Amino acid sequence: MSWYDTSFMARQGVARGKAGKSHKISIEDQGRFHYVYGPYVPPVIRVEPGAVVTVETHDAFEGRIQKETDRPSEILNFPYLNPQTGPIHVEGAEKGDCLAVRILSIRPRGPQPVGTTCLLPEFGGLVGTGQTAVLNAPLPERVKKVRLDENGVYWSDKITLPYEPFIGTIGTSPEIEAISSLQPDYYGGNMDLPDVAPGAIIYLPVNTPGALLYLGDCHAIQGDGELCGVAMEMPATVEIQVDLIKGHTIGWPRLETETHIMTIGSARPLEDAARIAYRELVRWVDAETGMGEEEAYMLLTMAGKARLGNMVDPKYTVGTGIAKAYLKR
Amino acid sequence: MSWYDTSFMARQGVARGKAGKSHKISIEDQGRFHYVYGPYVPPVIRVEPGAVVTVETHDAFEGRIQKETDRPSEILNFPYLNPQTGPIHVEGAEKGDCLAVRILSIRPRGPQPVGTTCLLPEFGGLVGTGQTAVLNAPLPERVKKVRLDENGVYWSDKITLPYEPFIGTIGTSPEIEAISSLQPDYYGGNMDLPDVAPGAIIYLPVNTPGALLYLGDCHAIQGDGELCGVAMEMPATVEIQVDLIKGHTIGWPRLETETHIMTIGSARPLEDAARIAYRELVRWVDAETGMGEEEAYMLLTMAGKARLGNMVDPKYTVGTGIAKAYLKR
Amino acid sequence: MSWYDTSFMARQGVARGKAGKSHKISIEDQGRFHYVYGPYVPPVIRVEPGAVVTVETHDAFEGRIQKETDRPSEILNFPYLNPQTGPIHVEGAEKGDCLAVRILSIRPRGPQPVGTTCLLPEFGGLVGTGQTAVLNAPLPERVKKVRLDENGVYWSDKITLPYEPFIGTIGTSPEIEAISSLQPDYYGGNMDLPDVAPGAIIYLPVNTPGALLYLGDCHAIQGDGELCGVAMEMPATVEIQVDLIKGHTIGWPRLETETHIMTIGSARPLEDAARIAYRELVRWVDAETGMGEEEAYMLLTMAGKARLGNMVDPKYTVGTGIAKAYLKR
Amino acid sequence: MSWYDTSFMARQGVARGKAGKSHKISIEDQGRFHYVYGPYVPPVIRVEPGAVVTVETHDAFEGRIQKETDRPSEILNFPYLNPQTGPIHVEGAEKGDCLAVRILSIRPRGPQPVGTTCLLPEFGGLVGTGQTAVLNAPLPERVKKVRLDENGVYWSDKITLPYEPFIGTIGTSPEIEAISSLQPDYYGGNMDLPDVAPGAIIYLPVNTPGALLYLGDCHAIQGDGELCGVAMEMPATVEIQVDLIKGHTIGWPRLETETHIMTIGSARPLEDAARIAYRELVRWVDAETGMGEEEAYMLLTMAGKARLGNMVDPKYTVGTGIAKAYLKR
């Protein structure tokens, strides 16, 4: 028996966490990609809870940065960035429900070098930006193309980094807003959180009929904070299994692994992202154990874990978690 | 001769700042109000540059808070807040242009007490919020209805405040996003900046064909920062004159009065809003005078003026200005 | 009768706001200047409440930047910056009291050009700094020496700015800390708030016996935010009158003019400075009028004024005020 | 051979990382504890580089919170909090040098229950505070006393947490400032970073003759961020070994373990703490490998690790690290 059988998804989902019908969304099926999370486009597919969907995603640049001599500022066309596959309409999903997405696998896709990173003008964690507006000259642009496969990320002759793939951008549609896929928020989006990886289940609030799940922006590896703003971007084939928890309202995304539960907040300044995540976790721990919010607050002071997702996007993202072993009243 | 005749609007506008045809958008004309700034709805009216438009706006609560015993948390239905009149399609406007909106008058509308303010749970500058997430209990809800007219705001038996009306929310549509009318951003929106008042011209970036101007959320008076998050909200009749500056690309809203120019930034944390505004102003001063960015930076150190618009919305807003008298190289 | 006769200083001070004995602290009297606000040095003078003290202050660079070809980074010797005159021991002052300092006059001192401003590497509101740490190259250093007198600040051939002098740095000693004179905090310090000007009374918390008042860093003029970090710095002769309010404990500096009361907060991010100031003001308005904190909170939403002092120092400073005319219950 | 033999301390230290003479500072030796990091007190001991010093520390409340019915707000006397043992004068240390402190062991000290945590009014990560000033009522005070030993922290009947001790507050004296031991900064101080644990070497900038090392505030365990502001506080016996790297100037604390190097930044808002730490790390990686700042910036985007130390102190603390395995050019 796997831990999945006792996950929130298995215990509370309409499909009881069981795999249902298989689907595929190829690049060709998708056709036109989307650059906002919103309800104003028709779904690319409709599936039942339990569906296993194989999704082809583009890299964050839609494959347009092809060689190290490319100049991103000339190639990229804001706001048409971070193309998303979807939306996937999940039958029966309504505002106030919770969508569960188990991540089964993430594989790189396409010709080598599959990986791309780069320095973009006025974007990144250690440079002035459009918001942290300065008069200093921007850093020079720079592109690095990197060979990678499921065994490693071949950064240089001497440095091989592990292949630790995850989904950089995933979420549901807001109710009436349509928000850039560059932004993370209460519905998910561009969280750039390395924990959204194979082996995890992410729980997302449903804001609109059908939930309208979007995803894209897979990373082969990323450090905490996604420092320069561009991780090891790759086109990918992602396999997910969706389920639906009816009448289970959550304010912000949550995540579950074999050993931990995690809540995810996105905001500026960064402490507000951490506050959001930790407050959600206080409430979740209390709800699971009945220990009371104050006791949960103190317990997390001792045993809380924080992951810095990104410190570069329009909102910054922090995930906070606690080991399931401590979820006792 | 009025200062308007030498304004940027008069010197550069397609209509040369001259008043053209008159239009009206009544509450009935508008029908359904809008709660996002976006391109996904048809315009309520199409006008030529120079048009004078009389616009009826709702208060931020769409008139639903009617008496002091009302409980806003039961009445208000997020995200259907801050109803906007519009969008107004301005003929000839294209991405990269600049829309000029001269504010001619703002008059209160409807039966007394016309004014509403209130304390909303987890909203405001001196309370924990959804983003500055805390475990403290929220303040109690409270509604205050206030009689007001063009002579004053009758706060209490002893305190009469001046009638200093302005447009709390005004802006153009983003290109592909549809963003809550509660938020201010590069296109304008919920800036809550008291300078957006009769006698001023606001300049807005055009991001989408026709510009798609929205407005609403008039305030009879407001202090710097809109401290509790709800100013003296009122339904209003607003008279504006629009013009179009072709090929004049601005990154953020700008404002002009008889004596000053101002730039407006919105972001979190608050210093980023100020940085955005002041960097835009450095560049504007340099462009007007040719004194160079560094000289402008130093001059603004001596003579810059900052206005705190709001410290309560999803992004905070700061306007920064300088007297036109100092715009000499 | 002057408004001073009804000021808090006159109504509550030990000396009833009356001028007492006159004193002088010349540059020579001072001898060694101080670069921290702390209790670890002996007072330069001891005075009684009511004392009128004429204080000579250095400019923020201790006069070492003498010509426009000077390179500040070679001349300045961190942390020996922002030299302070004092401390002045006020007889009878004890922790929990409030020191009142009425500013009588500020005159420029020394040979022309008296005024200095400059661009310092990694310092200022629109550049990366030691805290907002970026990899961008710093702006070039630059010094501007400016002739000024009590009639004007002669910025350039074409631009004359008004002479609007104030004390950039003033405060009492912390109880056990000794904090850089570059920093503003609860005891005052480097607030760079233009309202600390002739005609105003500033109220400071007393944290240690004798209060230990320091001051320096006079500016001939400064814009909101002190954008590049260096205002129109000048050596000055400052005339102040001190008084002492026994048993009146305030958390942060306060200010009074003929028409307004103001509270001053310093923190990062900037919204926290505004929150501190406005919360102090809510409480002050409530204490003066008995209207209750929530009513004061709502009233300040309509009638509060905010001044951005600095957005460049180790903590940012915001002053928030309200007209005395509205201080009615 | 241990990894210590190839540590920076062993390779560059005056004592080559070798253990020298043994010393002890007991509670009685210390006598009066210190509440500021500053140069204004005589050292409690003078040691040579290489010295092994056994240091007895008080808990952050100086042992005054003894039972769960105690009310901290009545017992604690701000600013006399977070008592520090020291300062230790290290012979030969001068401004511009680097002090290396290897942490050998941390053992709890005193009668059970040794551990204390509590909720303090207006202090903590999920409540309004003196800086994030709100009008909400504070949470109730609460004290929890916890039995703990080197085998575990016995949180409740059902939950035993691991004993993972570290030094919450450690640092050198500033040159002329004396700063509250509640604050972390460039010299170390109240970083509350769980990595400052047995098995690690911390490197601290020397700002004043003798370095003047202070330490205290040991924690038996702490989660990321020290959420409620009070970790599992305990009196402790700490064994450290000091060494001195001459002429090696660092801007902020650094840390080394067998597998990683880490840099530590403290600031508000939290993103500035992360920026400081990561910029220092970019420069360190470049200095070690010669790969260039931009390449290091990109590499850290893939392989950087961030630890949230505290989100509750006067400045927040972030440590950022990278595996030594990737330090190849």
Contact of D36 with chain C, judged by CB distance below 8 Å, is answered with: yes
Q: Which residue, D214, D249, D284, sits at the end of a domain?
A: D249
pLDDT over 70 percentage in chain C: 100
Looking at the 3D structure of chain C, how many domains does it have? 2
Give yes or no: residues D120 and D225 share one domain: yes
Q: What is the mean pLDDT of residues C79-99?
A: 98
Same domain, yes or no: A245 and A275: no
Whole-number pLDDT of residue A126: 98
d(CA A158, CA D6): 21
Cβ-based neighbour number of residue A34 at 10 Å: 23
D219-270 residue pLDDT tens: 999 999 999 999 999 999 999 999 999 999 999 999 999 999 999 999 999 9
The span from the CA of A54 to the CA of A105, in Å, is 9
Distance, C-alpha C188 to centroid of its chain: 7
Same domain, A94 and A217: yes
CA D273, chain centre distance (Å): 15
Contact status of D131 with chain C (Cβ, < 8 Å):
yes
**How do residues D127-176 score in pLDDT, each as one tens digit?**
999 999 999 999 999 999 999 999 999 999 999 999 999 999 999 999 99
Provide the shortest C-alpha distance from residue B208 to chain C (in Å): 30
Query: Which CATH number characterizes residue D36's domain?
Result: 2.60.120.580
Three-state SS for D72? Answer: helix
Along the 329 residues of chain B, how does pLDDT read in single tens digits?
Answer: 799 999 999 999 999 999 999 999 999 999 999 999 999 999 999 999 999 999 999 999 999 999 999 999 999 999 999 999 999 999 999 999 999 999 999 999 999 999 999 999 999 999 999 999 999 999 999 999 999 999 999 999 999 999 999 999 999 999 999 999 999 999 999 999 999 999 999 999 999 999 999 999 999 999 999 999 999 999 999 999 999 999 999 999 999 999 999 999 999 999 999 999 999 999 999 999 999 999 999 999 999 999 999 999 999 999 999 999 999 87
Backbone φ and ψ for A10, nearest 5 degrees, come out as -70, -35
Determine, yes or no, domain membership for D254. no
Q: How far is CA A97 from the centre of its chain?
A: 19
Does C145 share its domain with C228? Answer: yes
Q: Is residue D255 part of a domain?
A: no
ipTM value for the complex: 0.98
Distance from CA of D126 to the nearest CA of B (A): 4
Q: What integer pLDDT is reported at residue B328 of this predicted model?
A: 83
Handedness of CA B252, B255, B260, B266 (dihedral sign): negative
Pick D298's closest partner by Cβ from A117, A140, A298.
A117
Nearest to D301 by CA among A154, A231, A319: A231
Per the CB < 8 A criterion, the answer to whether B232 and B115 are in contact is yes
Take residue B297 and report the two structure tokens written for it.
């930076």
Q: What are phi and psi of C113, to 5 degrees?
A: -75, 125
Residue-wise pLDDT for C154-178, tens only, equals 999 999 999 999 999 999 999 999 9
Answer whether residue D212 is part of any domain: yes
Contact criterion met (CB below 8 Å) for B288 and B223: no
State residue C308's pLDDT score: 98
Q: Is B77 in CB contact (< 8 Å) with chain D?
A: no
Residue A211 within a domain: yes
Domain shared by B170 and B281, yes or no: no
Query: Which residue, of D215, D249, D283, is where some domain finishes?
Result: D249
The Cα-based distances of B137 to B123, B127, D134 in angstroms read: 12, 10, 11
Residues in chain D: 329
Tracing tokens 């009448």 back to the chain, one arrives at: A247
Q: Which of B301, B318, B326 is the closest to C117 by Cβ?
A: B301
pLDDT (0 to 100) of residue A73: 94
> What is the rounded distance in angstroms from the CA atom of residue C154 to the CA atom of residue C138?
28
The answer to whether residue A255 is domain-embedded is no
User: Would you say C185 and C179 are in contact if contact means Cβ atoms under 8 Å apart?
Assistant: yes
Quote the pLDDT of residue C264.
98
Mean pLDDT of D171-190: 98
Mean pLDDT of the residues in chain A: 97
**Residue D196, domain member (yes or no):** yes
**Which of D120, D275, D298 best tests the A interface by mutation, with the highest count of A CBs <10 A?**
D298
pLDDT single digits (tens) C238-275? 999 999 999 999 999 999 999 999 999 999 999 999 99
Question: B126 to chain D: which residues are within 8 Å by CB?
Answer: 133-135
Tell me how far CA of residue C257 lies from CA of C59, C199, C250, C252, in angstroms. 26, 7, 18, 17
Same-domain check for residues D215 and D275: no
Within this chain, do residues C157 and C227 fall inside the same structural domain, yes or no? yes
State how far the Cα of D282 lies from the Cα of D285, in Å rounded to an integer.
Answer: 5
**Average confidence (pLDDT) over D292-301:** 98
Which residues have C-beta within 8 Å of that of residue A200, sequence separation ≥ 6?
Answer: A102, A103, A255, A256, A257
Residue at B42: amino acid letter: P
CATH code, domain with B290: 3.10.28.20
Residue range A16-58, pLDDT digits in tens = 999 999 999 999 999 999 999 999 999 999 999 999 999 999 9
CA nearest to D114, candidates D76, D59, D164, D166:
D59
Residues B169 and B166: their CA atoms lie apart, in Å, by 9
B237 with B313, same domain: the answer is no
Share above pLDDT 90 across residues of chain C, in percent, rounded to a whole number: 99
Residue at which a domain ends, from C250, C268, C285: C250
Classify C246 as helix, strand or coil: coil
Q: Are residues C233 and C118 in the same domain?
A: yes
Closest alpha carbon within chain A to D153 = A302
Q: Is the pLDDT of residue D180 over 80?
A: yes
Same domain, D80 and D145: yes
- Output helix, strand, coil percentages for chain A, rounded to the nearest 5: 15, 35, 50
**How far lies B6's CA from each of B11, B149, C162, D252, in Å?**
6, 32, 25, 54
pLDDT exceeds cutoff 90 at A1: no
Q: Identify the pLDDT of residue B1.
A: 73
Size of interface A-D (CB pairs under 8 A): 165
Whether residue A159 is found in the same domain as residue A19: yes
- Asked whether residue D231 falls in the same domain as residue D146, the answer is yes
Task: Quote the pLDDT of residue D55.
Answer: 98
Closest CB to D304 among A225, A282, A328: A225
**Ramachandran quadrant class, B124 (left: phi over 0; alpha: psi -120 to 50; beta: rest):** left
Domain that holds residue D95: 3-249
Q: Is the pLDDT of residue C1 over 90?
A: no
pLDDT tier at D329, thresholds 50, 70, 90: confident
Alpha carbons B219 and B199: distance in angstroms, whole number: 15
Asked whether C241 and C273 are in contact (CB, 8 A), the reply is no
Residue B10 CA: distances (Å) to CA of B101, B242, B269, D281: 11, 11, 36, 53
